[in-house]
Chains A and B, each alone.
Chain A
Amino acid sequence: MTVEMPTSLADVVTALAERPGATLLAGGTDLMVEVNEGHRSIGQFGSSDHVIGLTRVPELTSFTVDRSTGTVTLGSGVRWCEIEREPLRSLLPALAQAARTVGSPQIRNAGTVGGNLATCSPAGDGLPVLAATGAVVHLLGPDGARDLAVTDFMTGVKRTAKAPGELITAVTVPLLTGWQGYSKVGVRNAMVIATASACVATDVPSRSVRIALGSVGPTIIRCTEAEGAAERAVDWDTRADPPSITIDGARHCARMAAAASRPIDDHRSTADYRRRAVAVMVERLLLRAFPGEVPR
């Protein structure tokens, strides 16, 4: 077995080209759980026994803000503890809210946005926000670089479009102009894996409402019908800032979002509870985004 800790992206690409089956190690908060429990074989049963660590690669652990294109590009190795703090907290408020709900401070000090994408758990806290904001995943492999919409990148339960030999270099998140928020239901407040989660992201200039759900399907679900209904239900022309929605309007859209969810019964909850939780969360988020009848 080998453990390599390259210090440049070029060295990662070289190492990965030599060992395309190598295991990529970012924060370790998912990988090491599997290793500790013996669920992940490294160098056993014929699997590659090479590990390439990504935590010392400056190109992956940094982020850039591009005001001209209105985007923030997060290196895949940017950790949750950085996303929950300034300056990213103000730039990406919903992602910062999601970041603050990831595990514990110890987990947020290690876990990364790229790891969230690569693991692609239906309960990945960052993923509904990335889906709602229309983020783009940047991949780099032996055949060069390619970009995928995050909703195309996530293909199923812990399945992604990432090919062997490819790594996630970064994710670009559009800066929106309007309220955005993340909501999560679990069995307690801290240290919890989502039973159900939701993100509502709005862009007032384009009169756009995006709704994405986590933990209620094989992967993150964008609720396009509920989004359309919300865009029609919002009073964009009111002189109030921000625009407003009625409680009935928000409830109607929330029910549509719940209808778009595809939850299952499992060890964490039931499908019925999750569907109900989606309706409650989306209604609350819409009323926070468009407070008319209730204060934000």
Chain B
Amino acid sequence: MKRYVIIRTLQFPLILAVIYLLTFFLTWVVPGSPFETGDKKSNELALRLMAERFHADNWHSFLGHYPLRLMRGDFGQSMQYPDWSVTDIVKTSLPISVSLGLFALTIATILGVSIGVLAAVRRGGAWDFLSLSVALIGISVPTFVVASILLMVFCVKLHWFAIGQWQSFSDLVLPGLALSLLPMAYITRLTRVAMLDVLSSDFVRTARAKGLSRFAVIRKHCLKHALLPVFSYLGPAAAATLTGSFVVETVFNIPGLGQHFVNSVRNKDQTLILAVVMIYSAMLLSLNLLVDIGYAFLDPRIQVEAKSGG
């Protein structure tokens, strides 16, 4: 186990370096200059001096300069918002996305698992229908539609929540709901399918025959098996939700990290693109590792040693 964790951890920098290089070259082949704004042609001299300041006048100078800064934890200045360093931007926006993501993930897990279990237990009933609806809506209706509907109904019509503020706990509710729908849909379906599988197995029948109550059988014997696929899904889901969503953040005007994934690319803000991609990758890698380790605890049949042995 220990060996496995160490090997996986050692792979981190290597994988990150590959991701860095890929992102770096992609940002360089994209046309346009990060320093140009507006429809007027920018002053050539101004552009050149700006590029020199960022060591972005040619790719090898940037590649030679920037990774060294990164190692020191310095992401440099944003090319689009020169008054802000990328570290400042990440520092203000990441916690916002993380708190929103945690909230959404909690809703998604609790509701998703509950609905999924109920759907499996009362197969073909009202709960099953609900689980199907949740899954269908969550997966097929785009987030911007859900977010806009929530905004129109609860803010504009009912006046229950303020629009586009980020000050109190209530500002977290609607974006949290919008963000949770997609993972909730997955979790509901995963739980339901796994639960159905478990419910029809022999040991459940034995347990029931032993005289255990239905509830006790489900809680003690079925749930832990049914949760395994959910657990493995939570890793990538957490990485995606905790780093924010462009759509939800735009509709609800939340100053999180998600908007930078799209905006930085649109502005060709190379330093910011690299920072958000590296943060996302690092989070995805660590969460996946956590899930793999947790998996081993949940299901003793899985031997991580064997995996790492290749």
Chains A and B come from one and the same complex = no
Measured CB to CB, the residues of B under 8 A from A are none
